[in-house]
Structure formats: structure tokens, C-alpha cells
Amino acid sequence: MKIQDNCVVAIHYTLTNDEGDVLDTSEGREPLRYLQGHGNIIPGLERALEGLVAGDSANEVVEPEEGYGPKQDMLIQAVPREAFDGIDVIEIGMQFQAQTAQGPIPGTVIAVDEETVTLDGNHELAGVRLNFAVQVTEVREASAEEIDHGHVH
Ligand code: ZN
């Protein structure tokens, strides 16, 4: 059967950026199983897989807008160093929750000095064009319960 809404789909995939670095892969693991049409995976990939059948392979390029979104400057915040009271060492790459007026935002430290820590709350794949090599291994109808729950059992 063809991939359509309310199908359970199993895929093997390798995700690379435009430089060819592997960002994620199902190689050596169980294939990824998801419920088509329920936002289980990024919209650009879900749309690209529609109509494929088990055994099909595809290479799909997903732009950031259809992937993890563009990088948003508003998610990059300078937080006073004293907000990290009790933490002796703060280094680039560490992850924290920034307490903001909008609530806690998780962020990665991208800059730090005596007074300020700059946190980037963007998803690490925001702004990245995603190149998927996908192989469809299984397509089946979802059960009524899976459709009701919006995920694969
Ligand atoms: Zn469930």
C-alpha cells in the first residue's frame, strides 16, 4: 500500500547536512516507525514520503522552513552571570534553562564572559537544510487505537 494518512510507516534513513556530515541515521538500529499524517516527523519529510511504497528509496531535501525552522534571533539571549549562581564553571556548549518572562527556555551556551552568558535556544538543526536518504521498509494500516492516540504502538 502507498503511504497515506493513518498508515504506520517504517523507514531507514540517513540525515546529512549540505557538507555531507551525518547528523543522524537509523543504520545499525531498528527502522524508525511513525504514524503518517500526525506530525510525528518533520512536515517536509512526511510530505515527501507520501505515495511511496515498501521497498522504495528516495533522496529528499528539506528546507529549514519544512524542517526544524529558521534560526530565530529572539531565541538568542544574554543572561546575567549571576543568574547562574552556584555554578562555578560555565563553558560554551553547556546546556541550561534560561528563566525568561515567557517561562523557562532551554539553551546552549554560545558565549560567556565575566558579566554575561549568551544562550541560544534554537534547535540545533534550526536553519539547517536537511538531506534525507530514505528507504521505506514497511507500510501498514494503523489500528483504530493508534490513530486515536496519534502514535505507533
Ligand atoms: Zn498510545
- What's the 84 CA to ligand 1 centre distance in angstroms? 39
Q: For residue 133, what pLDDT is reported?
A: 98
pLDDT tens digit sequence for 56-79: 999 999 999 999 999 999 889 898
CA of 150 to the centre of ligand 1 (A): 7
Q: Tell me the three state secondary structure of residue 57.
A: strand
**How far is ligand 1, taken at its centre, from the CA of residue 151, in Å?**
6
Q: How far apart (Å, rounded) are the C-alpha atoms in residues 66 and 17?
A: 15
Exposed, middle or buried by CB within 10 Å (0-12, 13-18, 19+), for 49? buried
Cα of 131 vs centre of ligand 1, distance in Å, is 30
| Total-model pTM | 0.78
pLDDT at 98 over 80: no
The pLDDT value given to residue 34: 98
Q: Over the chain, what is the mean pLDDT?
A: 93
In the reported structure, the alpha carbon of residue 9 is separated from the centroid of ligand 1 by a whole-number distance in angstroms of 16
CA separation for the pair 77, 57 (Å, rounded): 41
Can you tell me the mean pLDDT for 27-52? Answer: 96
Ligand 1 mean position to 118 CA, how many Å? 39
How far does residue 39's CA lie from ligand 1's centre (Å)? 15
Question: What pLDDT, on the 0 to 100 scale, is given for residue 103?
Answer: 75
User: Tell me: the pLDDT tens digits for 100-141?
Assistant: 677 777 899 999 999 999 999 999 899 999 999 999 999 999
SS3 percent helix, strand, coil of the chain, rounded to 5, is: 15, 40, 45
Residue type at 44 in one-letter notation: G
How many angstroms separate the most distant Cα atoms in the chain?
60
CB neighbourhood size of 35 (10 A): 22
Q: How far is the CA of 34 from the centre of ligand 1 (A)?
A: 12
